[in-house]
Structure 1
Amino acid sequence: MGTIKRLNHIFRADGKTIITAFDHGVNSGPMAGIADLGAALKQVIDAGTDAVILNIGMARRHEALLGRTGLIVRADFPCTDYARGSHDSILCVAVEEAVKVGADAVLFNGGPDISGEDIGLERCMISIISRLRRECEQYGMPLIAEMVPGGFNPPAEYINLDSLKLAARVAAEAGADMLKMPYRSGPDGRTYEEVVNGCEGLPIVVLGGAKTNSQEQFFANIDDALKCGAKGVAIGRNIWGHAHPDRVISLLNGLIHEGEDLGQAMKHLD
């Protein structure tokens, strides 16, 4: 009991969501855009984000700001940016702790070892998802799997339709309730719909990734993912790293909730 009710704090009645991710400080420190996290949170919440992702310390610190906004707490932490080449993370937050800060879901990062050289990455992922699933079932807490082939911050070439399909299905088989996934299109007319259709109906939200140099292509990719069946987005730097985060939220609201075409939605940035 409780899982569906909590998911309804993340998804609107249309079954879709705009999630703003603010969990970058644990590995990258006080980046521009989130150095004053309270101000950044207030701006996107006022603009209409449906949910936010926070690390547990910041969820405690900024409880008063969250109000009715959905709260997703990250349960695992990666290494810092100084640890180059590390693609795993470790479980640091118990589900009970997330319950105490009013979380509507817990999130962890996992991914199959696409390189074939890091079996420890897969063992770490299976350990985390298994433990979290058992704890989540105890508390009626939704489990969100951020499934990135190659693990945390992998080489770009590890991410393709086939690796994404595998990653998504692993999470579905292991008991996740929702997926946060990269977007990729494929050659020969293949589409992201293969990923959506391969995970037994679990809702997928598309992650934002690195700060984009091409706004047009970034939002075109989101538009295509939505047309292929994705249920929304979970974006960090491409929201709070933008000169006008509120306008990005308006654009996403147009695409995701209001049914605007890409051209209409892009006008919100003007």
Structure 2
Amino acid sequence: MGTIKRMNHIFREDGNAIITAFDHGVNSGPMRGIEHLDQALKTVIDAGTDAVILNIGMARKYEALLGRTGLIVRADFPCTDYARGAHDSILCVAVEEAVKVGADAVLFNGGPDISGEDIELERTMIRIISTLRRECEQYGMPLLAEMVPGGFNPPQEYINIDSLKLAARVAAEAGADFLKMPYRPGYEEVVQGCEGLPIVVLGGAKTNSQEQFFANIDDAMKCGAHGVAIGRNIWGHEHPDRVIKLLKGLIHEGENLETAMAHLG
């Protein structure tokens, strides 16, 4: 009981969601755009984001700001940016703790070991998803699996359609309720291979080409994605509210890419 109701706090009636990710501080510190998190949150919430991703401490601190906005709490923490070459994360938050701060889903980062040299990455992923799935079932809590081939912040060459298809299917087989995954051309194969689980497209690094970034999102939606989970390319933009308006056009209002891009001004 509760899983569907909580999912409806994240996804609109059209089945899609705009999720703004604010969980970067646990590994990258007070980055420009989230150094004053209360202000950043208020901006995107007022603009109409459907949900936000927060770490447990910030979810507790800024509960009053969230209002009716969906809340996804990260359950695992990666190493900081100083730990180069580390691609796994550690389970740090119990589902019961997420319940207490009013979460509508919990999130973890997992990924198959594409390199063939980091078996501990896969063992860690299996432990985390198994633990969270059991706890989520007890509380009626949706489980969001951020499935990135190669794990947290991997080399980009690890991410291709075949590795994405594998990662998505692993999460579906293990019991996730929805997925957060990178985009690559041919995304319909990823969507078709995960047995109907909704996929939201993760934003990744700050883009150098706005046109290509939003064109990728437009294509992902046409391939069957159900929205986005974006951080730096929203709150790192000069006008985060305009980015949200653009995304609303693409994801909820059926605008074509050219019309939606005009919202950036």
- Normalising by the smaller structure, the TM-score range is over 0.9
Q: Is 1:94 the counterpart of 2:94 in the alignment?
A: yes
Q: Corresponding residue for 1:212?
A: 207
Q: Corresponding residue for 1:264?
A: 259
What per-residue deviation string (whole Å, max 9, x for no partner) do you get for residues 212-240 of structure 1? 00000000000000000000000000000
Give the residue type in structure 2 aligned to 1:9.
H
Q: Corresponding residue for 2:194?
A: 199
- After the TM superposition, which parts of structure 1 deviate over 4 Å for at least 4 consecutive aligned residues? none
Q: Distance in 2 between matches of 1:118 and 1:81?
A: 19
Q: Corresponding residue for 1:188?
A: none
What per-residue deviation string (whole Å, max 9, x for no partner) do you get for residues 88-140 of structure 1? 00000000000000000000000000000000000000000000000000000
Q: Corresponding residue for 1:84?
A: 84
1:23 shift after superposition:
0.1
Q: Distance in 2 between matches of 1:169 and 1:4?
A: 21
Q: Distance in 1 between matches of 2:97 and 2:187?
A: 35
Q: Distance in 1 between matches of 2:222 and 2:15?
A: 14
Q: Distance in 1 between matches of 2:161 and 2:17?
A: 23
Q: Corresponding residue for 1:35?
A: 35
Q: Distance in 2 between matches of 1:135 and 1:17?
A: 24
Give the match's secondary structure for 1:172. helix
What per-residue deviation string (whole Å, max 9, x for no partner) do you get for residues 174-225 of structure 1? 000000000011xxxxx11000000000000000000000000000000000
- Percent pairwise identity: 87
- TM-score when scaled to structure 2? 1.00
1:37 shift after superposition:
0.1
Give the match's secondary structure for 1:151. coil
Give the match's secondary structure for 2:52. strand
1:39-58 alignment runs, 5 A limit: 39-58=39-58
Q: Is 1:230 the counterpart of 2:225 in the alignment?
A: yes
Give the residue type in structure 2 aligned to 1:22.
F
Q: Distance in 2 between matches of 1:143 and 1:8?
A: 14
Q: Corresponding residue for 1:138?
A: 138
Give the residue type in structure 1 aligned to 2:226.
K
**What CA RMSD, in Å, does the superposition of the two structures yield over aligned residues?**
0.2
Q: Distance in 2 between matches of 1:138 and 1:192?
A: 33
User: Where in structure 2 are there 5+ consecutive unaligned residues?
Assistant: none
User: Where in structure 1 are there 5+ consecutive unaligned residues?
Assistant: 186-190
What per-residue deviation string (whole Å, max 9, x for no partner) do you get for residues 55-103 of structure 1? 0000000000000000000000000000000000000000000000000
What per-residue deviation string (whole Å, max 9, x for no partner) do you get for residues 31-65 of structure 1? 00000000000000000000000000000000000
1:42-191 alignment runs, 5 A limit: 42-185=42-185, 191=186
Give the match's secondary structure for 1:254. helix
1:258 shift after superposition:
0.3
Q: Distance in 2 between matches of 1:55 and 1:193?
A: 31
Aligned length: 265
